[in-house]
């Protein structure tokens, strides 16, 4: 990257230290600053709107795509549309994420819309991290949308993480899961101060023996607010499980509204939601091992979001 600030943001959201191996597209302040395709993964600029098409050839295995976004300019409102075409029987890792550094008084915002078409028998692991920093009063806002179509036998695992420093986020995830396909979504969110985070999901199990697993883990501190609203619909013989666990601290607010709807007698759908504070005995146990109360608390919180 160009400087230490850029390097830090890239490392936070994509775990990169230097130019990645394989295909990549790096976006800074609304424009692309680096791109590489490979023999099996092509990255093309969209012609009708900002964003890229990522085309993975059928049978591609053991390759990766990194598409991080960083923003260091105050007052910038960036929107990007990325479409992923995952070929049949491929197996790839996709690492996205956005980091915002804002030292100014105007808001900086990134809205990323990611559309996945996952072919028959394909496997995808997708990691998306969000992070904010800076000394300014301008808000750091991230509003991601993830739209998925899983064809027969596809397997997709999403890991969506909000590390810290994001003042406002509204996340929307929608999926249609086909026959014998499997989707796992793990969402981890940390909010503090006056921050707000909303996560809304619309999941449809459309194919026979389709399955979905949704795991949400969140920590709300300060006066922050969180809302988690997953909606799961079973249209045929299928399995779905939604689990929401939240730790609430200080004067924060957490609202979980899981909704499941069965349209078929063989749809097996389950939801669980739990919100609570850190158990006192956990802190005491760690303090007996030599940690201070604050260190014990931080250790528990880090473990909860792992």
pLDDT at 120: 98
Let me know if residue 285 belongs to a domain: no
302 is a domain residue:
no
Task: Please check whether residue 135 lies inside any domain of the structure.
Answer: yes
Residue 301's pLDDT band (cuts 50, 70, 90): confident
Q: Tens digits of per-residue pLDDT, 112-168? A: 999 999 999 999 999 999 999 999 999 999 999 999 999 999 999 999 999 889 999
Question: Is 261 part of a structural domain of the chain?
Answer: yes
Assigned domain for 96 exists:
yes
Q: What is the pLDDT of residue 139?
A: 96
Q: Whole-number mean pLDDT of the chain?
A: 93
In the predicted model, what is the mean pLDDT of residues 68-87? Answer: 96
Per residue in 217-249, pLDDT (tens digit) is 999 999 999 999 999 999 999 999 999 999 999
Position 1 pLDDT exceeds 70: no
Please indicate, yes or no, if residue 294 is contained in any of the structural domains. no
Local confidence band at 203 (pLDDT 50, 70, 90 cut-offs):
very high
Closest-CA residue to 130 (of 12, 266, 4): 12
pLDDT at 2 (0 to 100): 57
In a domain, 65, yes or no: yes
Higher pLDDT, 6 or 111: 111
Q: What residue numbers bound the domain in which 180 lies?
A: 4-280
167: in domain: yes
Structurally, how many domains does the chain consist of? 1
Query: Is 280's pLDDT higher than 80?
Result: no
């Amino acid at each position: 990257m160009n400087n230490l600030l850029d390097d830090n943001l890239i490392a936070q959201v994509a775990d990169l230290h230097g130019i990645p191996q394989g295909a990549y597209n790096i976006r800074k302040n609304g424009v692309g600053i680096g791109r590489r395709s490979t023999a099996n993964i092509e990255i093309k600029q969209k012609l009708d709107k900002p964003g890229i098409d990522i085309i993975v050839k059928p049978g591609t295995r053991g390759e990766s795509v990194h598409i991080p976004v960083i923003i260091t300019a105050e007052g910038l409102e960036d929107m990007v549309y990325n479409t992923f075409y995952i070929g049949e029987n491929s197996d790839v890792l996709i690492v996205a994420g956005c980091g915002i550094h804002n030292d100014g008084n105007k808001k900086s915002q990134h809205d990323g819309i990611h559309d996945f078409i996952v072919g028959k028998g394909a496997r995808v692991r997708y990691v998306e991290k969000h992070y904010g920093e800076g000394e300014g009063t301008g808000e750091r806002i991230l509003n991601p949308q993830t739209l998925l179509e899983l064809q027969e036998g596809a397997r997709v695992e999403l890991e969506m993480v909000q590390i810290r420093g994001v003042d406002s986020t509204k996340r929307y995830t929608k999926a249609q899961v086909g026959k014998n396909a499997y989707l796992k979504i793990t969402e981890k969110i940390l909010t503090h101060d006056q921050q707000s985070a909303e996560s809304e999901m619309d999941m449809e199990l459309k194919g026979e023996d389709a399955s979905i697993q949704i795991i949400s883990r969140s920590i709300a501190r300060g006066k922050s607010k969180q809302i988690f609203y997953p909606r799961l619909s079973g249209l045929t013989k299928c399995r779905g499980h939604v689990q929401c666990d939240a730790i609430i601290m200080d004067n924060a607010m957490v609202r979980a509204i899981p909704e499941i709807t069965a349209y078929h007698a063989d749809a097996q759908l389950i939801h669980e939601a739990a919100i609570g504070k850190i158990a006192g005995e956990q802190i005491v146990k760690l303090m007996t091992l030599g940690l201070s109360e604050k260190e014990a608390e931080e250790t528990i919180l880090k473990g909860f979001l792992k």
